[in-house]
């Protein structure tokens, strides 16, 4: 038995020692824990860890296998995302105990705080005392047993799993209902309680999902798609798009869901031009060989940075929204071009991991497919706060795409219209976020860069918070960013376009003295190397391409991604449709597109007079429209003299 005294050992060093003990199969005792955070985080060995006192936030979080016993209380997020293993708490637990567990047994002898078992998927969370507000909030599966009273709104928005309450139910949450249980269930609970030496009550009330909100009442039929250029037509009035929209709403009686991003004309990077004529790059037959584009992202706090052959990444897109073959093709293309790929929501598949040489693993509020093992084999971690296409909202995946296989990976019931939570259970402010980032770092031994994905909304505040909270880099996504499914209202009218977003972000960092310190990766409707260079000039350290890579791989921009019957086999989970997609061929197509981006970046950089993309700056750009000039503060061309000619002034004066 190894003894670790937290009075003399910092938690980070202690966790390292616990992992070593785990590897050696040795049990551990923690002395003087004094409610410190992150004790035992990231442990994947089947050992006993006995904490002699109280533990703080995320005790036993992001683990698989260990058995924890805590003599006294624990803070928020007990056993966060624990796969196999067990935790016994002899005192009380704070809020969100058993959050996102996937198989673990969590036993609390005292009371537990609010939102216990939020987004849990599998396993048992037992509270021998009283549960507070919203126990079982948004749970997807597993079993929550409360021997005392339940608190208000128990089972709020649960989509799966069961809750058993022996005491009083204060009130039921929305879409939760009380139902009968059989003797087998009671036996199973009694067996469980016996194992943990807790006497079992004779009667329970069983709460399950009422099934009223799992699916939309009406399904949107696939319709003849309107080509993007018509869809985004210049006239706002009674055009084909508006007519179609009204017609569909007259059939389904609710807001619409569609794929892609905003189709309105918005100020964008195309409203900027380069100041110099670029003809000096014409002389050069191979600009790529002449320009240094090598970019490292995320090394700010000592983690191993992403190592990119050019300042370009793939934007996060999920396996779920896209087919497995598509994610494979994108992964392969990213490896061929030596840039980084991103899992998006919903977990990491082996195929994806094998295909991509550098892979960022994205973590969303639903913790769908999130787990310690895939964290450890990722090259970077990303906390999704929101995305440009639908700031403030979580992912959407319509029932057609929530197949059995996909549901299993994500840990959710199959065949529901999945509307992922819009917030993280354990991040309700910038202060909690600090503790969450630290948990990720503890779990991965401070080796991986941890980034934040922000949809452009209140960019100035958000960027400052991201920088202060200690992220390794920021992924900023503007309004032109696309999605596999989102409501048209949000896609078109919520958020800030990509161009003003980067301006405000750079400004915000300057205000707090962090410019050139924390890296920004800009995304949101960037189409080619020309857009990329403009973004770099404005202050982005790298850019990410999403939609343009799937178009390179065969997407026809019909905007029906949400339906799940994608004719190209890209945005579908139907094997018949997916068959049409050849990952090897499409990987080469995407790779060729990425190489054209590389060539464009190199040629323009050279044309602007530099041999290194990091030299690109604002002075290389001019604004082509008054709007763009106003947004960016760049000079509008043609530039005018300040003093108007006398004659002209007179005319204005005479008016």
624 binds another protein (CB under 8 A): no
Structure tokens belonging to residue 447: 């080796």
Alpha-carbon span 526 to 326, nearest angstrom: 20
Total residues at interface with another protein (CB under 8 A): 39
Pairing of strands 542-545, 312-314: parallel
- Choose the stretch contacting another protein; rule: CB under 8 A; options: 292-300, 324-332, 464-472, 589-597: 464-472
Alpha-carbon span 122 to 130, nearest angstrom: 21
Alpha-carbon span 141 to 103, nearest angstrom: 10
Alpha-carbon span 21 to 276, nearest angstrom: 62
281 binds another protein (CB under 8 A): no
Pairing of strands 621-623, 272-274: antiparallel
Nearer of residues 91 and 273 to another protein, judged by Cβ: 91
27 binds another protein (CB under 8 A): no
DSSP state of 137: T
Alpha-carbon span 439 to 428, nearest angstrom: 15
User: Under rule CB under 8 A, which residues in 416-455 are in contact with another protein?
Assistant: 428-431, 434-435, 438
Alpha-carbon span 134 to 524, nearest angstrom: 36
User: Which of 43, 62, 95, 100 touches another protein (CB under 8 A)?
Assistant: 95
133 binds another protein (CB under 8 A): yes
Handedness of CA 453, 387, 313, 345 (dihedral sign): positive
The backbone region for 47, taken as left when phi is positive above 0, alpha when psi lies in -120 to 50, beta otherwise, is: beta
294 binds another protein (CB under 8 A): no
Nearer of residues 376 and 468 to another protein, judged by Cβ: 468
Give strand pairing partners of 341: 359
DSSP state of 166: S
User: Which of 37, 436, 534, 577 touches another protein (CB under 8 A)?
Assistant: 37
User: Which of 44, 45, 47, 54 touches another protein (CB under 8 A)?
Assistant: 54
Residue appearing with tokens 């999902």: 209
DSSP state of 439: H
97 binds another protein (CB under 8 A): no
653 binds another protein (CB under 8 A): no
Nearer of residues 264 and 460 to another protein, judged by Cβ: 460
User: Which of 19, 45, 57, 138 touches another protein (CB under 8 A)?
Assistant: 57
User: Which of 44, 63, 67, 73 touches another protein (CB under 8 A)?
Assistant: 73
Nearer of residues 430 and 551 to another protein, judged by Cβ: 430
The DSSP result for 219-260, as a single string, is PPPP-PPPPHHHHT-S--SS-HHHHHHHHHHHHH-S--EESS
User: Which of 16, 71, 175, 507 touches another protein (CB under 8 A)?
Assistant: 71
Closest distance between another protein and the C-beta of residue 33, in Å?
A: 8
One character per residue 325-364, x = contact with another protein (rule: CB under 8 A)? ----------------------------------------
Among candidate residues 368, 332, 326, 374, the one with its CA nearest the CA of residue 349: 374
Closest distance between another protein and the C-beta of residue 74, in Å?
A: 9
User: Which of 2, 12, 26, 35 touches another protein (CB under 8 A)?
Assistant: 35
Buried b (16+ CB within 10 A) or exposed e, 353-363: bebbbbbbbbb
Nearer of residues 133 and 370 to another protein, judged by Cβ: 133
Closest distance between another protein and the C-beta of residue 155, in Å?
A: 16
- Choose the stretch contacting another protein; rule: CB under 8 A; options: 73-81, 361-369, 474-482, 624-632: 73-81
What is the largest distance, in Å, between two alpha-carbon atoms of the chain? 97
The packing angle between helices 11-23 and 430-443, to 10°, is 30
Alpha-carbon span 128 to 132, nearest angstrom: 12
Nearer of residues 59 and 540 to another protein, judged by Cβ: 59
User: Which of 354, 461, 584, 635 touches another protein (CB under 8 A)?
Assistant: 461
645 binds another protein (CB under 8 A): no
Alpha-carbon span 243 to 341, nearest angstrom: 38
User: Under rule CB under 8 A, which residues in 466-495 are in contact with another protein?
Assistant: 468-469
User: Which of 63, 92, 371, 386 touches another protein (CB under 8 A)?
Assistant: 92
Among candidate residues 309, 319, 314, the one with its CA nearest the CA of residue 356: 314
Closest distance between another protein and the C-beta of residue 395, in Å?
A: 22
Nearer of residues 8 and 218 to another protein, judged by Cβ: 8
Buried b (16+ CB within 10 A) or exposed e, 476-503: bbbbbbbbbbbbbebbbebbbbbbbbbb
Closest distance between another protein and the C-beta of residue 193, in Å?
A: 24
DSSP state of 401: G
132 binds another protein (CB under 8 A): yes
User: Which of 17, 72, 222, 292 touches another protein (CB under 8 A)?
Assistant: 72
Say which residues have a Cβ less than 8 Å from residue 359's Cβ, sequence separation at least 6.
331, 340, 341, 342, 343, 348, 352, 353, 378, 379, 380
401 binds another protein (CB under 8 A): no
DSSP state of 136: T
DSSP state of 618: G
562 binds another protein (CB under 8 A): no
Nearer of residues 294 and 468 to another protein, judged by Cβ: 468
508 binds another protein (CB under 8 A): no
The order of strands in the sheet holding 380-384 is: 312-314, 542-545, 519-523, 473-477, 450-455, 380-384, 359-363, 341-342
- Choose the stretch contacting another protein; rule: CB under 8 A; options: 48-56, 280-288, 412-420, 535-543: 48-56
88 binds another protein (CB under 8 A): no
User: Which of 75, 267, 311, 524 touches another protein (CB under 8 A)?
Assistant: 75
Give contact residues for another protein (rule: CB under 8 A): 7, 32, 34-37, 52-54, 56-57, 71-73, 75-76, 91-92, 94-95, 113-115, 132-133, 151, 428-431, 434-435, 438, 461, 464-465, 468-469, 512
């Amino acid at each position: 038995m190894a003894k670790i005294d937290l009075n003399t050992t910092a938690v980070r060093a202690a966790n390292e020692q616990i992992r070593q003990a785990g590897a050696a199969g040795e049990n551990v005792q923690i002395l003087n824990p004094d409610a410190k955070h992150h004790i035992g985080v990231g442990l994947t060995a089947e050992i006993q860890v006995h904490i002699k006192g109280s533990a703080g936030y995320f005790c036993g979080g992001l683990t698989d296998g260990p058995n924890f016993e805590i003599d006294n209380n624990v803070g928020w997020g007990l056993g966060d995302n624990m796969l196999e293993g067990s935790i016994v708490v002899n005192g009380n637990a704070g809020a969100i105990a058993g959050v996102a567990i996937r198989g673990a047994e969590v036993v609390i002898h005292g009371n537990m705080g609010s939102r216990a078992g939020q987004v849990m998927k599998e396993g048992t969370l037992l509270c021998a005392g009283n549960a507070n507000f919203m126990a079982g909030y948004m749970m997807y599966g597993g079993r929550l047993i409360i021997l005392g009273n339940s608190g208000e709104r128990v089972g709020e928005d649960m989509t799966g799993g069961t809750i058993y309450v022996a005491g009083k139910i204060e009130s039921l949450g929305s879409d939760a209902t009380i139902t009968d249980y059989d003797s087998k269930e009671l036996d199973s609970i009694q067996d469980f309680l016996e194992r943990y030496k807790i006497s079992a009550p004779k009667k329970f009330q069983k709460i399950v999902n009422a099934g009223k909100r799992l699916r939309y009442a009406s399904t949107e039929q696939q319709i003849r798609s309107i080509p993007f250029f018509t869809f985004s037509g210049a006239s706002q009035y009674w055009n084909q798009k508006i007519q179609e929209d009204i017609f569909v709403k007259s059939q389904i009686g609710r807001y619409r869901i569609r794929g892609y991003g905003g189709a309105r004309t918005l100020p964008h990077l195309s409203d900027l031009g380069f100041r110099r004529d670029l003809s000096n790059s014409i002389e050069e037959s191979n600009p790529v060989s002449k320009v240094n584009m090598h970019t490292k992202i995320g090394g700010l706090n000592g983690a191993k940075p992403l190592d990119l052959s050019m300042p370009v990444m793939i934007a996060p897109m999920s396996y779920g929204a896209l087919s497995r073959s598509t994610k494979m093709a994108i992964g392969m293309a990213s490896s061929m071009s030596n840039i980084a790929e991103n899992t998006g929501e919903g977990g990491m598949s082996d195929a994806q991991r094998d295909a991509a040489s550098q892979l960022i693993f994205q973590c969303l509020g639903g913790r769908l497919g999130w787990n310690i093992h895939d964290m450890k084999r990722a090259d970077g971690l990303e906390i999704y706060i929101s995305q440009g296409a639908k700031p403030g909202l979580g992912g959407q995946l319509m029932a057609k795409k929530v197949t059995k296989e996909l549901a299993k990976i994500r840990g959710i019931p199959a065949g529901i219209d999945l509307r992922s939570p819009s917030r993280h259970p354990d991040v309700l402010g910038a202060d909690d976020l600090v503790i969450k980032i630290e948990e990720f770092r503890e779990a991965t031994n401070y080796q991986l860069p941890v980034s934040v994905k922000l949809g452009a909304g209140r960019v100035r505040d958000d960027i400052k918070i991201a920088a202060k909270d200690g992220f390794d880099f920021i992924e900023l996504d503007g309004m032109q960013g696309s999605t596999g499914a989102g409501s048209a209202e949000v896609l078109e009218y919520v958020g800030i376009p990509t161009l003003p977003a980067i301006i405000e972000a750079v400004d915000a960092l300057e205000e707090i003295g962090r410019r050139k310190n924390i890296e920004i990766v800009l995304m949101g409707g960037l189409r080619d190397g020309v857009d990329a260079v403009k973004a770099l000039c404005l202050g982005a350290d790298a850019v990410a391409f999403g939609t343009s890579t799937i178009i390179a791989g065969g997407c026809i921009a019909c905007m029906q991604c949400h339906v799940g019957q994608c004719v190209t086999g890209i945005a579908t989970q139907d094997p018949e449709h997916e068959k049409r997609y050849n990952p090897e061929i499409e990987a080469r197509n995407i790779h060729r597109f990425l190489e054209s981006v590389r060539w464009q970046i190199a040629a323009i950089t050279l044309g602007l007079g530099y041999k290194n993309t990091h030299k690109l700056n604002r002075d290389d750009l001019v604004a082509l429209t008054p709007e763009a000039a106003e947004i960016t503060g760049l000079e509008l061309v043609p530039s005018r003299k300040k003093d108007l000619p006398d004659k002209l002034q007179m005319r204005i004066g005479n008016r």
